[in-house]
Structure 1
């Protein structure tokens, strides 16, 4: 005697999955927007006296546990952890937005042109991009950071190189499949130039996956930036940055000063979670599963 396993009807499974994806996307969006607002209004909060200068040490530097005067405590150097955590959001967003935007502006056009034209140039570009893609992102970023040096723009450049192949591969693969469609052939038969075919017909049909990739790369870039900061290769020391603050907190942990590592680490984890949830939700919208 065999027992049948109960399964939900396909339409109900699809509805539940869609509802869960939308819920997670909205949670991720709210978290991401909160961090964006923190980055925008942190200087205003400092001007109003609600938070301290993140780069100003106390007159008599001594670590203090979280209290009403210092909500997240202070470091052994006398810096206010709450202020540095808020301003760390600003530094992270600047680098992440620059890095993902640079990689998008380079990878998308290359993928479009390479996939549409094909030939020797396409094979060479594909080989180069695959070579870069096989390298671990953190290792590549560390190597590039040694070359370009520290700073917001330099960190963004070091991060963006590892993301260009991802945009290139996604856009190229979509372009090679879409360019054989009948509406593309009809446009070329009506005299449309390659530039017009690329910009008007192909671009809008292959760009759907880019927002998903953008958010997921942003989440990954925050982790890599934190790794660079932890190694002392990210931003200058005077710029509050979560990875660098975790590096400073490493020596303080054995002495029981837990708060200097907890709050920057939580901020980094929460921001990465928000962007990841947003990316997964967008993926369900643009590429729904049956």
Structure 2
């Protein structure tokens, strides 16, 4: 987990410091086209070289961290805020409400996540918020199913029955007695979805459905650099791909660490 925190913290630090580095003229503007320097190899003036359009690869890779983290935070937060309450309400009330929500969520859950995100991104259009919404919808059923199953089992416990007998309203039972018991496994799912959201963002960018072309984003930059590999130009694909992979690995390590903290048996087995 410590390794994951260090890796992810490094990316967060880069995302925060990138605008400061640009303001101090330590790095180029990621949207500035250096027309006289297309496909220049890494050098002291351009640490990661330049791509076919003349963009500075280091600057675009660094600012691409911002886009990745913003989409991850928005997508996972939206899915959590929507999926968890729906799961609690569905599991607690049961009946027709539970059946309708379960049918809807099962329908979404059966669709491949990437395919659903591609379809939604195509409908909503490019943009940071649109991509985040498209990604978040694929995760809502996961939070719903997890929380609903926990709620269904916990609502039959004696302390819930006692709260009802004392006149506690459904809202009070959900917020005070159920929430703390069903939320324990959500952090693990949150970190797993965060790592997966980066891959989906990269896939959408690669297909041209992510952020606008002029904005730095790892998936789109990889798409632009794909033809360079056949000519021996390695730096335009190496650095965006390396950053994307490292961030996914870092968040995945955090997820494993959180899982071990919540379930000590996993640590003992390992």
**TM-score normalised to structure 2 length:** 0.96
Q: Distance in 2 between the 1:130 and 1:179 partners?
A: 22
Is 1:238–2:214 an aligned residue pair?
yes
Deviation at 1:62, TM superposition (A): 2.1
Which residue of 2 is the match for residue 175 of structure 1? Answer: 151
Structure index of larger Rg: 1
1:96-115 maps to which residues of 2 (within 5 A)?
Answer: 96-115=72-91
**TM-score normalised to structure 1 length:** 0.90
1:144-223 maps to which residues of 2 (within 5 A)?
Answer: 144-223=120-199
Is 1:124–2:100 an aligned residue pair?
yes
Moved over 3 A (4+): none
1:60-75 maps to which residues of 2 (within 5 A)?
Answer: 60-75=36-51
Work out whether residues 195 and 252 of structure 2, in 8 Å CA contact, stay in contact via their aligned partners in 1. Answer: yes
Q: Distance in 1 between the 2:155 and 2:127 partners?
A: 41
Query: Any idea what SS the aligned residue of 2:194 has?
Result: helix
Q: Distance in 1 between the 2:116 and 2:263 partners?
A: 30
Q: Distance in 2 between the 1:257 and 1:215 partners?
A: 34
Deviation at 1:271, TM superposition (A): 0.3
Q: Distance in 1 between the 2:38 and 2:2 partners?
A: 41
Which residue of 1 is the match for residue 261 of structure 2? Answer: 285
Identify which range, 57-66 or 91-100, moves more after superposition: 57-66
Deviation at 1:59, TM superposition (A): 3.9
Which residue of 1 is the match for residue 232 of structure 2? Answer: 256
1:84-103 maps to which residues of 2 (within 5 A)?
Answer: 84-103=60-79
The superposition leaves residues 190-240 of structure 1 with CA deviations (integer Å, 9 ceiling, x where unpaired) of 111110000001001111111111111010000000000000000001110
Is 1:82–2:58 an aligned residue pair?
yes
The superposition leaves residues 28-49 of structure 1 with CA deviations (integer Å, 9 ceiling, x where unpaired) of 1111111111111100011112
Query: Any idea what SS the aligned residue of 1:161 has?
Result: helix
Unaligned runs of at least 5 residues, structure 2: none
Q: Distance in 2 between the 1:288 and 1:183 partners?
A: 26
Q: Distance in 2 between the 1:62 and 1:91 partners?
A: 24
Query: Any idea what SS the aligned residue of 1:277 has?
Result: helix
Deviation at 1:255, TM superposition (A): 1.1
For the aligned residue pairs, the C-alpha RMSD in angstroms reads 1.0
1:51-66 maps to which residues of 2 (within 5 A)?
Answer: 51-66=27-42
Deviation at 1:287, TM superposition (A): 2.7
Unaligned runs of at least 5 residues, structure 1: 1-24
Count of aligned positions? 266
